Chains A and B, each alone.
Chain A
Amino acid sequence: MSDDPSFSKPPLPDDASRERLDRMKGRESVLEVRDLGKTFESAQGPVEALRGVSFSVHRREFLCVVGASGCGKSTLIRILAGLEEKTSGEVLVDGHPVDGPGRDRGMVFQGYTLFPWLTVLRNVAFGLEMGGSGRSTAETDAGEWIELVGLKGFEEKYPHQLSGGMKQRVAIARSLAAGPRVLLMDEPFGALDAQTRSQMQAHLLQIWKNVDITIVFITHDLDEAIFLSDRILVLDPRPGRVREHIEVPVPRPRLFAQVPTPVFQGTRAHLDHLIHPPLPTPKVERIPMVRLTVVGDEVE
């Protein structure tokens, strides 16, 4: 399968998509990563997590980062957010190098990180207040962000009264309200059930359409990556390196009906081909003492 030439390249985009991608690449780059490296010190010696990672994200681009587990996706996004220190390289936002966390890079985490002691309204107002807004201005603005993520009427609820999907919506609103240039999302829908997850994906695209925001989205779900993004950054594991930078040929607006189309599935097959190396055929030398099948219930 790995030698099948049809998977070695993603399908070509149609003209409209080609033009859209070119327009995107014509815009200035908001986030630029140059030759980023990260080495962790562990008891067993240094472990290299990232090596020479370089890419740039254009204004209003939706970039997904995918890769097999252990490829350093999460380390990468934590470095971008400033929550982890880089060993080498540079991260630039609007051309200025950044170090440490800041309001210009919002982050939505996989786990629920809403402040449990604050209501939905106060949670969303938090970032605004950190930015120096007065309490009443912050709450007025927060109300608008809550409306944007479709949670009007839940302003006075506490996080423990919300469902998982609603919590992540509030988290998105809270990050966006702080006015970041880039929104970093670390598998934000990973903990949600499949149905809520699809809803949240459609919802996120809707928000992205309405807000001037650039998104870097980490996921291990390839369908999710194709459904959401303009480009996909594929990382190789141990140490994490850029394998390929794919332009997603699936036209926008994205619909779930596009999932079975050849262009979607072709992209999917290409990603699969990059990320999952062909499995080695297991060589059975000895029949295990304990057979897990019922005798006579042999399967091929």
Chain B
Amino acid sequence: MPDSKTPKRRSSLWKIQGDLDDRSRRILWVLSFGVPLLLWAMISYVPWIWHPLVEVRDPGDVSWFTPGLRVEKDGFDRANSLETARGQKPATGVPANPVFLPAPHQVAVALVTSFTTAPRLKEERWLHEEMWHSIQIIFWGFFLSSLVGVPLGILCGAIPAVTRLSEPFIEFFRYLPAPAFGALCVAILGINDAPKIAIIFIGTFFQQVLVIANTVRRVEPSLVEAAQTLGAKPRQLLWRVVLPASIADIYTDQRVLLGWAWTYLIVAELIGTSSGITYFINLQAKYRQYDNVMAAILLIGIVGLGGDLVFAWIGRRLFPWRKDAKPGFFRRRKTAALAAAAEEVFA
């Protein structure tokens, strides 16, 4: 325990490498969201920052003004000076931002209302319904991609023959942009969810194989050599050395790749029948309800970041041998028994 008399040393903010103390870390975490939010709030609420338009409050005698209309500052002044010259009543207004930049509170309200008020048309779906639909698309696309991509990536990384056979083609294919396959996917798979899942699959699969193969290739060769001198045969080397040596890093790779899947989601949802969060965003933009648009974009961020935090939390408990490990979900004996059972199945 540190002596209570010695002052607790705070780490310098300019230090290179290593990590900061808990308090600085927490403060910086808050700031990392706080600073962009503050900028947004300043642009929205401080009237002399930006605000290129004027929102009409009282149209006065200007015939083409209506309350709530946003007009250019020049236009507003010209109309008013015309009216004043004619001895008519001028309009009044307040500085405003364009409609596509709603203020933070408007977006917050929109986010809440989207869960409380029904959509304006009967066939339209709630924000959370569209979101849930998108999450399902992501899940199936990523799940199917991983089902093939992870084992193939591991084999590629471990067995040179598999690398030579598959990587040249995969390297070629990953340069073909996934969206380019949209029309093809619709022609083959119809117009519903199948082509969307296919786009996510194409977008992540090839990257996945290459990234995971690379991770597996980084396994310390001396671990494999040590196992060989202990009598391990190729199949045992794969299952009992290469796989466990890389599994924790593969898990981290998967978290990064899931981020890629979200990027392809937006493209995927534009093809075939419109659905999902992208459809919601496009529809709200047509209604010029940019607060709803921002709310939907924000929701994607929250779901994405939230998911990643959950996976990171799980990751710290899945691999008890890592230095940053937290107490696992299972007692070790149980995990070991599971691993042994898996080995028997594969042996």
CB-defined contacts of A101 to chain B, threshold 8 Å: 225, 228-229
| Bound form: Cα–Cα A184–B229 in Å | 10
Taking a contact as CB atoms closer than 8 A, the residue among B220, B222, B230, B245 that contacts A174 in the complex is B230
Report B-chain residues with C-beta under 8 Å of the C-beta of A178: 230-231
Contact A113 to B230, CB < 8 A, known contacts A158-B320, A158-B321: no
B323 at the A/B interface (Cβ < 8 Å)?
yes
Asked if B244 lies at the interface with its beta carbon under 8 angstroms from chain A, I say yes
- For the complex, what is the distance from the CA of A174 to the CA of B229, rounded to whole Å? 10
CA distance A266 to B155 in the complex (A): 56
Query: A114 vs B231: C-alpha distance in the bound complex, in angstroms?
Result: 15
> Do A109 and B244 contact each other (CB < 8 Å), given the known contacts A117-B321, A126-B230, A130-B231?
no
A131 nearest CB neighbor, chain B only: B231
Task: Supply 24 A–B pairs (Cβ within 8 Å), ascending by A.
Answer: A83-B229, A101-B225, A101-B228, A102-B229, A102-B231, A107-B225, A109-B222, A109-B225, A113-B222, A115-B223, A117-B248, A118-B244, A118-B321, A126-B230, A126-B232, A126-B240, A127-B231, A130-B236, A131-B231, A135-B340, A171-B226, A175-B229, A178-B230, A184-B229
Q: Which residues of B contact A105 (CB under 8 A)?
A: 229
Do B230 and A103 touch (CB < 8 A)?
yes
Question: Which of the listed residues B220, B228, B319 has the most CB atoms from chain A within 10 Å of its own CB?
Answer: B228
Residues from chain A with a CB closer than 8 A to the CB of B320 are 158
User: Once the chains are docked, how many angstroms separate the CA of A130 from the CA of B323?
Assistant: 27
Determine the distance from Cα of A83 to Cα of B231 in the docked complex, in whole angstroms: 12
Taken together as a complex, chains A and B put the C-alpha atoms of A115 and B319 apart, in Å, by 13
- Docked complex Cα distance between A234 and B25 (Å): 56
B332 CB–A CB distance under 8 Å? yes
Question: CB of B156 within 8 A of chain A?
Answer: no
User: Is B56 an interface residue when CB atoms closer than 8 A count as contact?
Assistant: no
How many of chain A's residues have a CB under 8 angstroms from any CB in B?
Answer: 32
Bound-state Cα–Cα, A131 to B332, Å: 24
Bound complex: CA A160 to CA B319 (Å)? 13
Q: List 15 additional A-B contacts (Cβ < 8 Å) besides A115-B227, A117-B321.
A: A81-B225, A81-B229, A82-B229, A83-B225, A83-B228, A101-B229, A113-B223, A116-B245, A116-B321, A117-B248, A117-B319, A122-B336, A130-B231, A130-B232, A171-B226
Q: With a CB–CB cut-off of 8 A, which chain B residues contact A156?
A: 332
Chain B residue nearest to A184 in the complex (CB): B229
Instruction: Give chain B interface residues in 203-240, CB to chain A under 8 Å.
Output: 220, 222-223, 225-233, 236, 240
Which residues of A approach B to under 8 Å, CB–CB? 81-83, 101-103, 105-107, 109, 111, 113, 115-119, 122, 126-127, 130-131, 135, 156, 158-160, 171, 174-175, 178, 184
B202 CB, min distance to chain A CBs, angstroms? 33
Residue among A101, A131, A171 with max Cβ neighbours from chain B (10 Å):
A101
CA distance A140 to B109 in the complex (A): 65
Contacts A113-B223, A158-B321: A82 and B228 contacting too (C-beta < 8 A)?
yes
**A21 to B225 Cα, complex, angstroms:** 34
B residues less than 8 Å from A174 (CB atoms): 230
Distance, CA A184 to CA B226, complexed state (A): 11
B244 touches A115 (CB 8 A): yes
Q: Which residues from chain A contact B230 at a C-beta distance below 8 Å? A: 103, 106, 126-127, 130, 174-175, 178
Residues 326-347 of B at the A interface (beta carbon under 8 Å): 332, 336, 340
Query: Taking CB as reference atom, which chain B residue is nearest A160?
Result: B323
Task: Flag whether B241 is at the interface (Cβ < 8 A).
Answer: yes
Tell me if A117 and B245 are in contact (CB < 8 A).
Answer: yes
Closest residue of chain B to A135, judged by CB?
B340
Is B226 a contact partner of A109 (Cβ separation < 8 A)?
A: yes
A114's nearest neighbour on chain B, judged by CB, is B226
Q: Chain B residue with minimal CB distance to A159? A: B321
